[in-house]
Amino acid sequence: MFDFCKLDVYQKAKAFCILMHKLISNGNFDRTTNDQLRRASFSIMLNIAEGSSRFSNKDRKNFMIVARGSAFECAAIMDYLSEVSEIDKDAYSNYLKSLEEISKMLYGLIRGLDK
């Protein structure tokens, strides 16, 4: 098993990515929104995975920063979808809770890599 698979943040990012895949498959969003949401949610988990392969803390940190940025991007997309009534307020709240948890976990990893 690869080390990144053991990370709780990776598992949560993967679960969120799968959730977004289902949302996109069941939704009627425009092509641009589908593409951005798919890529941003994938980017969270893929950057965690790729960062775990790096040897220096500086390199690992950069990938975790990118992963966290992608979580923020997903949050912005969710905000947009909520505002245009493409997702309901309860779903929006649940998606944001997941992203907030992922973001906080990534922040902890980033801070830990400064040492």
Structural domain for 21, as ranges: 3-112
Summarised one tens digit per residue, pLDDT across range 52-65 is: 999 999 999 999 99
Q: What is the CATH number of the domain that holds 76?
A: 1.20.1440.60
Give me the number of domains the chain comprises: 1
- By the 10 Å C-beta count (0-12 exposed, 13-18 middle, 19+ buried), 31 is classed as exposed
**What pTM does this model have?**
0.95
Summarised one tens digit per residue, pLDDT across range 77-90 is: 999 999 999 999 99
3-state percent breakdown (helix, strand, coil) of the chain, nearest 5: 85, 0, 15
Positions of the chain with pLDDT lower than 50, given as ranges: none
